[in-house]
Chains A and B, each alone.
Chain A
Amino acid sequence: MIEVNHISKSFGKAGEVSALSNISLNIDEGQLYGLIGPDGAGKTTLFRILTTLLLPDEGFAVIDGMNVVDDYKKLRKILGYMPGRFSLYQDLSVRENLEFYASIFNTTIEVNYALIKDIYVQLEPFNNRRAGALSGGMKQKLALCCALIHKPKVLFLDEPTTGVDVVSRKEFWEMLKRLKNEGITIFVSTPYMDEASLCDKIALIQNGSILSENKPSALTASFNYSLFGVKCNQMNDCRKTLTHWKEILDAYSFGEYLHVKTTKGTIGENDIQEFLLAKGLTDIFIKDVIPTVEDCFIDLMKTKKT
């Protein structure tokens, strides 16, 4: 559905600031695809190129058989786009915002009501409230309705959950799943690693390059090290001690545990336990850990650097 081919883009007068370098991705029809990476990684630039708002310096991208540069007019009819900053008119009411976006897409709220119904029912009580007076979560829902009003084939959501609290984030991902079932291809970007597991396929992006593109389960399965979760009485000391041990590749905080990365088949839980006891730490608890997308991201970032 979306094919990104060796796209590069630089900014600045002499093109000195490289935003994207040699990006290639493949998104299938009906997929919920996540572009995961921190701020400044190049997510928004890629989104703007795919939504025909920017021209790539090199490479090309094709969406539903149409080139994003040459066929931009046709493409703009099948794309739905929710920019990073919610693009609502603060001084217009909920209803007026929706009606406005419906009419610029030459449709009406009624025509595609079925698609937005689930989301819109939550907004309907506030129909006459100005968008500026809505909560963050409600604004996000309204912006999604506006992006969906013309029943797009492909939906681009640029960091829809940034700055939104956990409750709204969960609700939002549930909405995305329902939309996916309607057959809409969804390309979503996020800085939150924990949202990666909710996608069918993900690409990890950092400093304008793709670290990895895979299914979340396949990505974590490719994590080729042993990973332990370690807990003890003094976490910060524990981390410092462990990072200085040559048997250990990496040790970093991960929620209430430290994640300790070792080469497969070298040391086990008992060795770590003994080592920490010898260093005077107590209340030690060690377990095997299944790597998460975040562990993979950290690993890929560090291997890329060195």
Chain B
Amino acid sequence: MYFTDWQGKPKEAIIKLAMEQLLAFVRKEVYHILRDRKTLLVLFGLPIAQILLFGFALSNEVKNTKIFMCDLAKDNFSFQLTEKVHASKYFNVVGSIDIPNEADEVLRKGSAHLVMVIPADFSTKLSHSNSASIQLITDGTNPNLASTIQLYLRNIINDFRNQVFEKIELPYTIEVKSRMLYNPQLKGAYTFVPGVMAMVLMIICTLMTSVSIVKEKELGNMEMLLVSPMNPLIVIFSKAIPYLALSLFIVTVILGLSVTLLEVPIRGNIFLLYGVCLIFIIASLALGLVISSITNSQQVAMMISLMGMMLPTIMFGGFMFPIENMPIPLQVISNIVPAKWFYYAISGIMIKGMGIKSVLKEISILLVYGTVFIIISYRNFKIRLE
């Protein structure tokens, strides 16, 4: 016999042979991944760095906010309020000014992030008309930060008012509820953990997979593989399997880091969370396959993945720029970005503790994407060269 002949062999034997080929191929892929130390370092370093940077940087912004007081009332109530603000771990009262007009100067110098003006009639109005006003003057150069600080400070003031009214027990108190739901401390990490996950999964599954397949074409290995008796689909599966495993591992690392270091809770069902991740990973892998089938150069594959996939993910994923604030046409466009649905589902499950029913829409959309990509890549798959 000159060659391996499996024509006459029973079906089980053929499947066994195919499994052995798959196994050999997967082993080879694992070698490739493990030996490319630099890429591996980036793959693990990137999410860890992002989690740490975004997480800490964001909460640190609100922490240690410098406040100047302009206390025109100088009475018991105003002292109590100043004390309460100062006691918060997020704010430091670092100085005071005498007239509100000086606020401009301290803000411009950067000595304060916010100036709190307590009017002279503060106590009177508070006790009698229930409509005392406090002026918060913020440095608006960073609008996100400014509104965050304001929001948080408003919480403290509301808190203060509740305390005061409980004590003196006035009959008619109108309580203004403006509690931040789900993320009372306005932790940036909450919004970022699912975002980082979406980005890293896109990089590994879409970019790495497409580049690694195109590399086989570029180096001429694909020719040799196609001329072998191996079913060409094995090439695809064996590329997908290690990256799928790697992705799930990195998801675990990200979740672990977020829970331990950033104190982001996982409120929903962990299996549901992994299930959604798995669907997104498969959809991204299939997208990577689609990209690899339309190009023959690693450079082009990388360009398409980065420009065509990563940018929209960042722009329209919902974790960098709130989609609600976008013009309507952009909001419509954002719907075609798979990462947006992934982000909604993950933040729903993780932070709001939603169950499967509440994220059914997102899951179905991701499933549709995955199926479509798989069909396209299967149809595009070539058993010959072009």
Contact = CB atoms under 8 A, between A and B. Distances in A.
B25 A106 contact: no
A120 interface: no
Interface in A146-191: 146-147, 150-153
A53 B223 contact: yes
Contact of A77 (B4, B20, B27, B223): B4
B227 A52 contact: yes
Contact of B383 (A72, A81, A89, A92): A72
B224 A146 contact: yes
A106 B231 CA distance: 12
B5 interface: yes
Greatest chain B CB density within 10 A among A74, A101, A107, A153 is at: A101
Contacts of A101: 224, 228
Contact of A106 (B4, B28, B219): B4
B385 A48 contact: yes
Given A76-B228, A150-B4, A89 B32 contact: yes
A77 B2 CA distance: 10
B224 A76 contact: no
Given A92-B31, A96-B31, A99-B24, A104 B223 contact: no
A104 B384 contact: no
A32 to B, nearest CB: 17
Contact of B3 (A77, A86, A87, A92): A77
A298 to B, nearest CB: 31
B142 interface: no
A106 B31 contact: no
Interface residues of B, number: 33
Interface string A71-95: 0111011110111111111111000
Given A104-B24, A106-B21, A153 B227 contact: no
B207 to A, nearest CB: 19
Given A91-B36, A103-B20, A76 B227 contact: yes
Interface string B65-91: 000000000000000000000000000
A198 to B, nearest CB: 24
B3 A83 contact: no
A87 B384 contact: no
A105 interface: yes
B220 A103 contact: no
A41 B28 CA distance: 36
A200 to B, nearest CB: 20
A153 B221 contact: no
Interface string B21-42: 1011101100110011000000
B229 A53 contact: no
B48 to A, nearest CB: 25
B270 interface: no
B11 to A, nearest CB: 15
B225 interface: yes
Interface in A24-65: 48, 51-55
Contacts of A91: 31-32, 35-36
A153 B224 contact: no
Contacts of A78: 2-3
A100 interface: yes
Greatest chain A CB density within 10 A among B6, B228, B234, B383 is at: B228
Greatest chain A CB density within 10 A among B7, B28, B35, B227 is at: B227
B17 interface: yes
B223 A81 contact: yes
B3 A150 contact: yes
B230 interface: yes
A79 B5 CA distance: 13
Greatest chain A CB density within 10 A among B23, B229, B385 is at: B229
A149 to B, nearest CB: 10
B43 interface: no
B226 interface: yes
Contact of B219 (A51, A87, A100, A104): A87
Nearest to B227: A81
B220 A85 contact: yes
Greatest chain A CB density within 10 A among B2, B7, B219, B224 is at: B224
Given A79-B227, A103-B20, A52 B384 contact: yes
A157 B5 CA distance: 23
Contacts of A153: 2-3
B4 A103 contact: no
A54 B4 CA distance: 24
Interface in B276-310: none
A99 B221 CA distance: 15
A104 B5 CA distance: 13
A73 B227 CA distance: 9
Given A48-B385, A81-B223, A100-B27, 9 more contacts: A51-B227, A78-B3, A85-B219, A89-B219, A89-B221, A92-B31, A104-B24, A151-B3, A152-B3
Interface of A: 48, 51-55, 72-74, 76-79, 81-92, 96, 99-101, 103-107, 146-147, 150-153
Q: Which 7 A-B pairs have the closest CB atoms?
A: A103-B24, A85-B220, A87-B224, A77-B229, A81-B227, A83-B223, A87-B221
25 contacts: A53-B226, A53-B227, A54-B384, A55-B384, A73-B229, A76-B227, A77-B5, A78-B3, A79-B227, A81-B224, A83-B220, A87-B220, A87-B221, A91-B32, A91-B35, A96-B28, A100-B25, A104-B21, A104-B24, A104-B25, A105-B230, A106-B6, A150-B4, A151-B3, A152-B2
